[in-house]
Amino acid sequence: MVLTGSVTGSTGNPAFSVYSATKAAVPNFARNWILDLKDRHIRGNVVSPGVIETAGLDELFGGGVQAEGVKAGLVASIPAGRVGKPEDVAQAVLFLASDAASFINGAELFVDGGMTQI
């Protein structure tokens, strides 16, 4: 099982307190569920995306030129130097769901270009 968290669960963000609190709970669910589900050999991990280029992101930032300006400002805080793509998140999920990750259990993988590390 791969749950979707968010970098906001590990960082402070103005006006996002409730959203951030709910996302902070997701890794805790995974850590507890791996104990509850161990007899069924079900692994659980969390993918926590950062700023990802989606229609929802554009809507959140007001769309159009305004959204592009906000995203450009955010890029300065992302060590990878870009906004993520949906494919970046998909590849992380595919990895965690695969046999290549068979000994990874209860982990949170940040797909954020290094944003939470600074």
- CA–CA gap between residue 62 and residue 40 (Å, rounded): 45
- CA–CA gap between residue 78 and residue 99 (Å, rounded): 30
Give catalytic residue positions: 19
pLDDT at 42: 97
Residue 11 has pLDDT above 80, yes or no: yes
Domain edges within the chain: 2-117
What is the pLDDT confidence band of residue 100, given thresholds at 50, 70 and 90? very high
pLDDT tens digits along 12-50:
888 889 999 999 999 999 999 999 999 999 999 999 999
Q: Which residue has the tokens 């609190």?
A: 21
Which architecture does CATH list for 2-117? 3-Layer(aba) Sandwich (3.40)
What is the DSSP pairing of strand 2-4 with strand 45-49? Answer: parallel
pTM equals: 0.90
- CA–CA gap between residue 107 and residue 95 (Å, rounded): 13
